[in-house]
Structure 1
Amino acid sequence: MHQVTLSPNELLGLFNLLPDVVFFIKDTQCRYTHVNQTLSQRVGIKRHEEILGRSVLELYPATLAGRYILQDQRVLRGETIENLLELQLYPNRSTGWCLTRKQPVIEHGRIVGLIGISRDLGQPDSRHSSFERLREIVDHMQEHFHEPLRVRNLAEKSGVSVAQLERLFKRVFQITPQQMLTKLRIEAAMRLLHGNDSIARIGQACGFSDQSAFARQFKSTVGMTPRDYRAMVRTGATHVTPVSPA
């Protein structure tokens, strides 16, 4: 059987047709060599050619750029990042959840760059036969996310195995139950950080075991520490509106 191989430009042409997907290829210096129109629009540059040869450090706020560089470095060492749930901040836009995948580009046995996509997290599939049952589980998670919830207990509550629950969640919500729980906790934390409670108290109220665990998860997901996020909100550095739960 003849194997079909698409060139980077052919891939780019395909991803230009998807407005909810960011597509990019970078070299070993983390500089963009290919980007689609969606990425151009979200960094506020009309012509994608103006992005080529530049790194995220030149295009994104430092808090986000630092996270992206760390991801890139992991991939350039040979790691594949798959279905990473992230909260991205876009200029003049509300916050948006996405699932990111990055993998090395290998030629003749050596890594010559990386390729990646970030897909916007869409609406749940309400037509799926399991939607109502899963919606009850999500409602339970929304009411108890501050507690130490376990996926095994959620599976027992819904009458299925852990594997079945994870499969159904990915089919209906596009993310796993654990990712859903993280999403609910981070959204709640973002709302509370607009107030005056201490960061430690907010972390505890959102179900994190301690302040360091809260800071790690928040930075990994949002791209900045809870303290930096609060400072950004208070100085009005950008328009930030936490998205509502799925």
Structure 2
Amino acid sequence: MKISADELEPLFDALPDVVFFVKDTEGRYTHANLTLVRRLGLKHRSDVIGKDVTELFPTIMGGSYAAQDRRVLTGELIENQLEVHIFNNRTPGWCLTCKRPLLSSRGEIRGVIGISRDLGFPDGKHPTYERLRRVLAHMQEHYGEGVRIPTLAQMAGLSVAQLERHFRRVFQLTPQQVLTKLRIEAAMRLLSGDDSVAAIGMACGFVDQSAFARQFKATVGMTPSDYRGMAQRAQPVVAQRAAVS
């Protein structure tokens, strides 16, 4: 028995930490759960249905999401893509995104179906949590250096495969994804300052500016320069609010 998107939509409405969506081959939303509607700063599902990402998200991010959708429409699967989503209130949130082609009964691609799940808290009750926490502390201190996964596994007394498995269980991410998250978070902080994009990339552990820009855009949905511009435009608003409060 197949379940339709019409049946899935109200089920995902009950999950405040999961965004659910379906889009047609033109990238227009045909289904969206209320979590997505609210995070976009809208009130009704009808405010989303029929529109595409370029109409609902900041221009730069919308273009990046649309490009990702086009890859899925060619048959590509996106599994647990670590991303930062920035909504209309400028609040960033980390999530894991999964997208796949929506197929007709004949196997033809007729759209995109996907979810973005918020990262939750680490599982502190897992037997390996303390060992992994020491590894995480090392990563937090040395993310700007050439951190190697086999070295981290050795620190934890685990094989690389075991480290990967336990990291997924405790942190919901692979060690490489955790390292990427630490580096991108640091870059987002530094981009509010005056250092060059190249210098920030090097300080955050990227081998060159091209690698930094590529990873930043894949994760945040815009280039480091575009993010810096957005952050600088938001600063006067933040300062004004602080003065009022």
TM-score, normalised with respect to structure 1:
0.93
User: How many Å separate the matches in 2 of 1:213 and 1:234?
Assistant: 23
Contact in 1 for aligned 2:86/2:93 (Cα 8 Å): yes
- Residue by residue over 1:137-194, the C-alpha shift from the partner in whole angstroms, topping out at 9 and shown as x without a partner, is 0000011111111111111111111111111001000010000000000001111111
Q: Does the C-alpha gap of structure 1 residues 191 and 239 become closer, same or farther in structure 2, counting only changes over 3 Å?
A: farther
Q: Which amino acid aligns with 2:102?
A: V
Is residue 93–residue 239 contact of structure 1 (8 Å, CA) maintained in 2? Answer: no
The one of 197, 212, 215 aligned to 1:214: 212
Secondary structure of the residue that 1:231 maps to in structure 2? helix
Aligned to 1:33: 30
Alignment of 1:133-212 (within 5 A): 133-212=131-210
Aligned match of 1:14:
11
- What do the CA deviations read for 1:88-137 (whole angstroms, capped 9, x no partner)? 10122521000000000111021011100000011111111111110000
Displacement of 1:50 after TM fit? 2.3
Equivalent residues, number = 237
* Residue 57 (structure 1) aligns with: 54
Q: Secondary structure at the match of 2:178?
A: helix
**Could you say which structure has the higher helix fraction?**
2
Which digits, 9 at most, give the CA deviation of each residue in 1:183-235, with x for residues without a partner?
00000111111111111111111000001111111111111111111111112
Structure 2 unaligned spans of 5+: 239-245
Q: In structure 2, how many angstroms separate the alpha carbons of the residues matched to 1:82 and 1:68?
A: 15
Decide whether the 8 Å contact of 1:94 with 1:239 is kept in 2: no
- Ranked by relative contact order (alpha carbons within 8 Å, sequence separation 6 or more), the top structure is 1
1:126 is paired with a residue whose SS is: coil
Per the alignment, residue 104 of structure 1 pairs with: 101
Q: Is the 8 A contact 1:25 1:115 kept in 2?
A: yes
Q: Which amino acid aligns with 1:7?
A: S
Change over 3 Å in CA distance of 1:237–1:117 after alignment to 2: farther
CA RMSD of superposed structures (Å): 1.4
Q: 1:239 to 1:203 in 2, by over 3 A?
A: farther
State whether residues 91 and 238 of structure 1, in contact with CA within 8 Å, keep that contact through their aligned partners in structure 2: no
Amino acid at match of 1:5: K
Measure, in 1, the Cα distance between the counterparts of 2:223 and 2:107: 38
Q: Are residue 123 (structure 1) and residue 121 (structure 2) matched?
A: yes
- Whether contact under 8 Å (1:12, 1:36) holds in the other structure is yes
Q: In 2, Cα distance between the equivalents of 1:57 and 1:22?
A: 17
- Identify unmatched segments of 5+ residues in structure 1: 241-246
Note if contact 1:92-1:238 (Cα within 8 Å) is conserved in structure 2: no
Runs of 4+ in 1 over 3 A off after TM superposition: 237-240
Contact 1:137–1:158, Cα closer than 8 Å, also in 2? yes
CA shift, 1:238, in A, is 9.3
